[in-house]
Chain A
Amino acid sequence: APVMAEKLGLGRQATEAEIAAWNLDVFPDGSNLPDGQGDVLTGEEVFAEHCAACHGDFAEGAGNWPKLAGGVDTLADEDPLKTVGSYWPYLSTSFDYVRRSMPFGGAQTMSNDDVYAIVAYILYSNDLVDEDFTLSKETFMSVEMPNSDGFIVDGREETEYGAFTNRCMEGCKPEVVKITKNVVFPG
């Protein structure tokens, strides 16, 4: 089998410390979470200092920056509001993403405790936990994400591919073609 292909002997073994430094993945079941914890009230302070300038005091968003809270039950609306509370299926993604990539411009400067606290505050801002909640490895899986069942695996094979095969060449629609929408920003 191709997986038994001969090796060239290039590269060298990665050390455990190297792998730990780069492998920050947190999975939906909470595995690979670091030690630590943070509560809502601590999170409110950390969020105010490091996050609120862009995401608002209550995670409701400032200016054109992403809103992290609100929007529950809007996903079928004309203008859905997709936030951690209304859209994100797994809490693990919030922890993973905040720890890896936030704050914008100062990523990977927060302690694990600060990240736990920030995520706890985002949950509180979405009315998903009470103000005395402490987020940790132990409490992680107790949080129910409202849209955890909102995703289906790509269904184009069933719903589209069979239907999009008609190569009509003549008389493909009524002869009079009219403009139904004109360009909004003519430039």
Chain B
Amino acid sequence: MVDSSTKQGASRRAFLKGAAATGAALGSVGAAKAASDDPLITEVQDWTSGLGDGVDATPYGMPIEYEGDVVRRTVEWLTADQISSINFTPIHALDGTITPQGCAFERHHSGAITLKKEDYRLMINGLVDTPLVFTYEDLERFPRVTQTFFLECAANTGMEWAGAQLNGSQYTHGMIHNMEYTGVTLRTLLEEAGLGAMGAIKDKWVYVEGADASSNGRSIPLEKALDDCMIAFKANGEALRMEHGYPVRLVVPGWEGNMWVKWLRRIEIMDRPVESREETSKYTDTLADGTSRKWTWVMDAKSVITSPSPQMPIKHGKGPLVITGLAWSGRGAITAVDVSLDGGVTWQEARLAEPGKPMAMSRFYLDINWQGEEMFLQSRAMDDTGYVQPTKTQLREVRGLNSIYHNNCIQTWHVNANGEANNVEVS
């Protein structure tokens, strides 16, 4: 006992000395505090004495009940109904880069449909040598690929164009998920139908549509379709979830989520785009002069600090603080993320958990010693094209306030002395 308390005292003095050297006041710091005996340690707990669940209790598990707030959430007033609507991934509470499928966001236009593998058909028609119909079983016999990509809704952060609206990274940035997909390249399938008779690939298009009532048809340049698109039937190791397109969805790396057609039923090769509803009325971006951009396919480099954030206040007091977040770019790999504590006056480079992968999420960390000072937290992503994530002001100067989609601006969280965070815009 005596030895132990001496050691504690020594370490406490060492810590005080260290804190004094930084010129900062010392708050409540658990690690160095002399503690009374903790009954969770000194008393035998039920879980240490009795038995837990058997291996047959949970054939397919859900998260433990204490993680019950790590769930998709919706904001009812955003849409007229909850069928053609959106919900949000709880990115504030996640770490790493892979999004658990069960809480990965949904966006449907006519609801999440139930489509059995036995009932599934995929048609390829149009300017191909032979129009084809595949069953699900056929698709599993093609050579496979596995790759990880982010899917970001074109409208992610769209509510924030005019100001600071919703309070939490889940709501401001949660129309996104990042999964490891397994499937077949679109090139493989199109070659099976034969691309010999159609002539040049340039200026050709594919039209892709889903089996649901909304259809969600979109036109995609054939060059992109043959470059890196795939049809996926597995995500994060298992079959797609119903709400993510079971049994087959399109993967369009780096491009706006609307084009990742779920329950994919038809791919048509064409000599021109269809100009469907989802690429005229929607997913077009209106500029200040009233003209609108169309075919804004790529999602530009973007990042957000997920903690601290409005849903993740600092509760542990002063001292070591992990600042963490996500960065991604539809134009390539993330090469660096900078973090500012002062609203963008000064920046320091954060640590990437892993080197960036093209069109996939990166996780970043910055470890600081927080002494209760007010902070204006920002993150700024860079990708391997040299593109630097812009401020909202920079974007507004080009686009005005009404483009709805493609808001990849730098986000600011105001953290007060109590560790509470709010969504703000700053000068």
Contacts and interface: CB of A to CB of B under 8 A. Distances in A.
Interface of A: 2-5, 7-8, 10-14, 18-19, 22-23, 25-28, 54, 63-66, 75-76, 78, 80, 82, 84, 87-90, 92-93, 96-97, 100-101, 104-105, 107-108, 150-156, 159-161, 163-187
A75 B268 contact: no
Given A8-B141, A10-B134, A93-B281, A183 B424 contact: yes
Nearest to A3: B195
A22 B265 contact: yes
Contacts, number: 239
A11 B79 CA distance: 40
B129 to A, nearest CB: 10
A128 B80 CA distance: 27
A178 B422 contact: no
Interface string B289-300: 111111111101
A3 B226 CA distance: 9
Interface string B151-185: 00000000000011111100000000000000000
A25 B207 contact: yes
Interface string B78-116: 011001100000000000000000000000011000000
Given A93-B276, A181-B163, A186-B167, A150 B291 contact: yes
Given A80-B402, A183-B424, A12 B346 contact: no
Interface string B242-270: 00000000000000000000000110101
B148 interface: no
A177 B288 contact: no
Given A90-B275, A181-B424, A159 B343 contact: no
A87 B293 contact: no
Contact of A97 (B276, B291, B401): B276
B366 interface: no
A167 B226 CA distance: 34
Contact of B163 (A84, A100, A156, A184): A184
A13 B130 contact: yes
Interface of B: 79-80, 83-84, 109-110, 123-125, 130-135, 138, 141-142, 163-168, 187-188, 191-196, 201, 207, 213-215, 217, 226, 265-266, 268, 270, 272, 274-277, 280-281, 284, 286, 288-298, 300, 310, 338, 342-348, 376, 380, 382, 385-390, 394, 398, 401-402, 414, 422-427
Q: Per DSSP, are chain B's interface residues mostly helix, strand or loop, or mixed?
A: loop
A183 B164 contact: yes
A99 to B, nearest CB: 10
B111 to A, nearest CB: 9
B166 A187 contact: yes
A101 B83 CA distance: 13
Given A23-B268, A177-B344, A187-B167, A11 B138 contact: yes
Taking each of B84, B168, B427, which has the highest tally of chain A beta carbons within 10 Å of its own beta carbon?
Answer: B427
A187 B424 CA distance: 14
A167 B296 contact: no
Contacts of B265: 22
Q: Per DSSP, are chain A's interface residues mostly helix, strand or loop, or mixed?
A: loop
21 contacts: A18-B133, A25-B207, A27-B274, A65-B80, A75-B286, A76-B288, A76-B289, A89-B275, A93-B280, A107-B213, A151-B294, A159-B398, A164-B388, A164-B394, A166-B388, A169-B338, A177-B343, A179-B426, A180-B425, A181-B163, A181-B425
A185 B345 CA distance: 27
* 5 tightest A-B CB contacts, nearest first: A177-B343, A76-B290, A75-B290, A107-B213, A181-B425
B344 A173 contact: yes
A179 B382 CA distance: 25
A54 B125 CA distance: 35
Contacts of B280: 88-90, 93, 151
B338 A167 contact: yes
Given A19-B123, A96-B274, A153 B294 contact: yes
A152 B215 CA distance: 25
Contacts of A156: 293, 296, 298, 300
Nearest to A157: B298
B300 A178 contact: no
A97 to B, nearest CB: 4
A23 B426 CA distance: 50
A171 B422 contact: no
Contacts of B294: 151-154
A101 B207 CA distance: 16
Given A101-B109, A177-B342, 6 more contacts: A3-B191, A151-B284, A156-B300, A163-B394, A164-B388, A183-B166
Contacts of B424: 179-183
Contact of B214 (A80, A101, A180): A101
Nearest to A22: B266
A2 B425 contact: no
Taking each of B196, B288, B380, B387, which has the highest tally of chain A beta carbons within 10 Å of its own beta carbon?
Answer: B387
